[in-house]
Amino acid sequence: MRILVTNDDGIDSVGLHKLALAIRHLGEVVVVAPDTEYSGAGCAVGAFNKLNPEVHRVRLEGIDEAWTVSGPPALCVIFARAGLFDKEFDLVVSGINPGANVGRAVYHSGTVGACITARNSGITGIAVSQDAAFGSVVGQAWDEMLLGMKWDTAAHVAAQAVGAIVANPPATPQVLNINVPNAEVSELKGWRRTEMANQSGRSSSQVSLVPKIGHDNAFNVCMDWGQPIELPEHTDIGTVQRGFVSVTWLSAILPVHPGEDDHAEQAIDRLFRS
């Protein structure tokens, strides 16, 4: 089985290296990752005519084949699906992201976005993230927080999940979002199948403009993320907060009926009746 490993933190991320090494015994692992930071990229691929993406073969210790792409992780997956790196892939594994991708952060996550793009191409994707030290903002971690990351824990959990998917592939392509507390394996309390929380794990953030010294009409943005909020244990955020591994199967985007709020449809209908 050919396994594509990618991330949104770039080729130099420790989490990427830990993940690739942890699952290399499970198949033919090829790393294809952004050449720089693309956190929060979601499923973005960029405008090809402006991006002019470049691909470089690179060396990654312990991995036979590794590449960088000058674009976001979803673009890495699209290139791989198109056959740019020889044969097609059977599985996409994305991570390990420093900072949990839970709640509304899932919508913006490049880590998860790579897996959604994989599913759209007919390939199962597994996103792996780890809660950062000292209570980071979900989906992100500052440099000082990375010093306390228990990377091997998330890598161990990821290897278990990937091994199971390799042995028993889903009947239809799926997206599996795994979030691991930042603790030693022996300290994990277990795991739970969860729902995606419909809010953030912190109180409302506030933003303000700070004048940029030496520049007219230019400002830096100061952000205050607020305090952590404990959420119900059946949610992905609440599960990680309580020391459990969160396992969430993410559905595809499906249409809904607007009910009585179909005013836009009525307006469009009038356009064709006038």
Q: Are strands 175-180 and 124-130 parallel, antiparallel or unpaired?
A: parallel
Q: Are strands 63-69 and 55-60 parallel, antiparallel or unpaired?
A: antiparallel
Dist. CA 76–CA 4, nearest whole Å: 9
Q: Could you tell me the domains of the chain?
A: 2-198+230-256 (3.40.1210.10)
Which pLDDT does position 134 carry in this prediction?
53
From the list 173, 87, 86, the residue with the least C-alpha distance to 125 is: 173
Which pLDDT does position 91 carry in this prediction?
99
Which pLDDT does position 141 carry in this prediction?
56
Token pair for residue 175? 């997206």
pLDDT tens string for the chain (274 positions)? 999 999 999 999 999 999 999 999 999 999 999 999 999 999 999 887 778 899 999 999 999 999 999 999 999 999 999 999 999 999 999 999 999 999 999 999 999 999 999 999 999 999 999 998 655 545 555 666 777 899 999 999 999 999 999 999 999 999 999 999 999 999 999 999 999 999 888 766 788 999 999 999 999 998 887 788 899 999 999 999 999 999 999 999 889 888 888 899 999 999 999 7
**b or e along 38-66 (b: 16 or more beta carbons within 10 Å of the residue's beta carbon)?**
bbbbbbbbbeeeeeeeeeeeeebeebeeb
Give the Å distances, CA to CA, from 101 to 57, 155, 177, 190: 29, 16, 8, 18
Dist. CA 17–CA 11, nearest whole Å: 8
Dist. CA 240–CA 145, nearest whole Å: 17
Which pLDDT does position 110 carry in this prediction?
98
**b or e along 11-24 (b: 16 or more beta carbons within 10 Å of the residue's beta carbon)?**
bebebbbbbbbbbb
Main-chain dihedrals φ then ψ at residue 233, nearest 5 degrees: -70, -15
Which pLDDT does position 47 carry in this prediction?
86
Which pLDDT does position 223 carry in this prediction?
80
From the list 30, 43, 165, the residue with the least C-alpha distance to 88 is: 30
From the list 91, 77, 81, the residue with the least C-alpha distance to 8 is: 77
Which pLDDT does position 147 carry in this prediction?
78
